[in-house]
Amino acid sequence: AHPVVAIAGATGAVGTEFLQVLHDLDFPASEVRALASARSAGKKVPFAGCGQVPAGELTVQEMTPESFAGVDIALFSCGASVSKEMRQAVVDAGAVMIDNSSAFRMDADVPLVVPEVNPGDVAWHEGVIANPNCSTIQMVVALKPLYDLSPITRVVVSTYQAASGGGAPAMAELYDQTRAFLSGTPEDELTVEVFQHRIAFNCIPHIDKFLEDDSTKEEWKMVVETKKIMGDEGIKVAATCVRVPVLRCHAEAVYVEFQDEVSVEAARAAMEAFPGITVMDDVANNTYPMPGLLAGTNDTYVGRLRKDDTVDHGLAFWVVADQIRKGAALNAVQIAQLLLP
Ligand code: 2RA
């Protein structure tokens, strides 16, 4: 069977990457529909082809409830409000919505899936499968082989998140602001529209909105999504999410506490054997993953693996992944692959 695939949000940063990943994985589609707002209708987007769909251009169609007639899989990345608005039309059309927005991630009837971690959860979908938040995805990929060695009781994570998390306008702001800053533009004349403050040569400890307990919604997502994906509400997670002047890859410093002793050697072997992880860890030769050098890659890269002897059974590591690929588009298409007969 060659499914009909719709891309909802086809002109955005993630939507564009959906098309690239469908090609890279040669997803066996019989048709690919590029959907977006009326503003983008009629635009031509390049497509390298996949399955039975030849390389060429796709003409963007305005997304309406009727757009999903005959669709089997609808990949969404156009914000939570549009996902909520279109959900019923997608399900009524008999399609499965794989949603990159935060709209349904914590709904009890919606699986939240990272294919390397909890692929079996797609079995109980009722028309919608949620793609986790990018910063959660790369962390749980790294945690899963460790959890299989010994249950994880606590995780502490600090993130170093790329501009791409804010979409194409955010990447443009990083570029343009950096040029302006370097050309000597006065601080109060720099254009600061997407992020809360200047991101060029700066770090901003604020992603998404602040909550009642003075943590941010991004930090809250990492806490609750990790528990759901790992299937263990007992895991304690403490997160600090920071925006840094990097283009496309998120990086994270992670401290893990286990129920039982886990050696660095056993952890390294488990990670090296785990699909989707590349262990890049040879400090004698200054070898570790760096977010400025891994844009466009598919894997979750782990380095700086070491003992954390400040707790009974602890390890620490550093993890990097491309936020637009594994953090969004690749993970969603990998979920779609799980739906293939
Ligand atoms: C960010 N994780 O990095 C959020 C949404 N992609 O901005």
pLDDT 10s digits, 242-254: 999 999 999 999 9
Ligand 1 site, residue 207, Cβ cutoff 6 A: yes
Helix, strand, coil abundance in the chain, percent, nearest 5: 35, 25, 40
Residue 305 has pLDDT above 90, yes or no: yes
164 lines ligand 1 (CB under 6 A): no
Instruction: With cut-offs at 50, 70 and 90, classify the pLDDT of residue 260.
Output: very high
How far, in Å, CA of 29 to CA of 198, rounded? 42
> What is the Cβ-side half-sphere exposure of residue 19, based on CA atoms within 13 angstroms?
28
Contact indicator for 104, 37 with CB cutoff of 8 Å: no
Q: Which atom of ligand 1 is nearest to the CA of 241?
A: 3
103 pLDDT tier (thresholds 50, 70, 90):
very high
Active site residue 250: yes
Instruction: Please give the average per-residue pLDDT across 316-336, as a whole number.
Output: 98
Residue 49 confidence (pLDDT): 98
What number is the average pLDDT over the span 198-223? 98
**pLDDT for position 186:** 98
Residue 279 has pLDDT above 80, yes or no: yes
Which two three-digit tokens encode residue 286? 């200054």
Ligand 1 pocket member 276 (CB < 6 A):
no
Q: What distance in Å separates the CA atoms of residue 103 and residue 105, rounded to the nearest whole number?
A: 6
Q: Tell me how far apart the alpha carbons of residues 162 and 258 are, in angstroms, rounded to a whole number.
A: 29
Give the total residue count for the chain: 341
Catalytic hit among 50, 78, 134, 249: 134
Share of the chain above pLDDT 90, in %: 100
Q: What's the ipTM?
A: 0.96
pLDDT of 76 reads 98
Q: Is 233 exposed, middle or buried (0-12, 13-18, 19+ CB in 10 A)?
A: exposed
What value, to the nearest 5°, has the Cα angle with vertex 338 and ends 130 and 127?
A: 45
pLDDT at 338: 98
Give the mean pLDDT of 54-60.
Answer: 98
Q: What's the average model confidence in pLDDT over 292-308?
A: 98
pLDDT reported for residue 48: 98
> What pLDDT is recorded for position 270?
98
Which CA distances in Å does 182 have to 153, 198, 200, 202, 220?
A: 46, 13, 9, 13, 35
- Give mean pLDDT, residues 188-216: 98
**Which of 161, 171, 209, 240 to mutate to test ligand 1, by most ligand atoms within 8 A of the CB atom?**
161
Query: Is the full-model pTM beyond 0.80?
Result: yes
Report the candidate in 213, 194, 303 with the shortest Cα–Cα distance to residue 254. 303
The strand pair at 56-59 and 44-47 is best described as antiparallel
Reported as a single tens digit per residue, the pLDDT across 117-161 is 999 999 999 999 999 999 999 999 999 999 999 999 999 999 999
pLDDT band at 1 (very low <50, low <70, confident <90, very high): confident
How high is the mean pLDDT of the chain? Answer: 98
Angle between helices 217-230 and 134-147 (to 10 degrees): 40
| Contact in structure between 291 and 246 (CB atoms under 8 Å) | yes
CA dihedral 49, 54, 58, 63 (to 10 degrees): -80
199 contact partners, CB below 8 Å, separation of at least 6? 163, 173, 174, 177, 243, 244, 245
| Residues 256, 230 contacting (CB under 8 angstroms) | no
**Phi, psi (degrees; rounded to nearest 5) at 315:** -135, 155
Element (H, E) at 73: strand 73-76
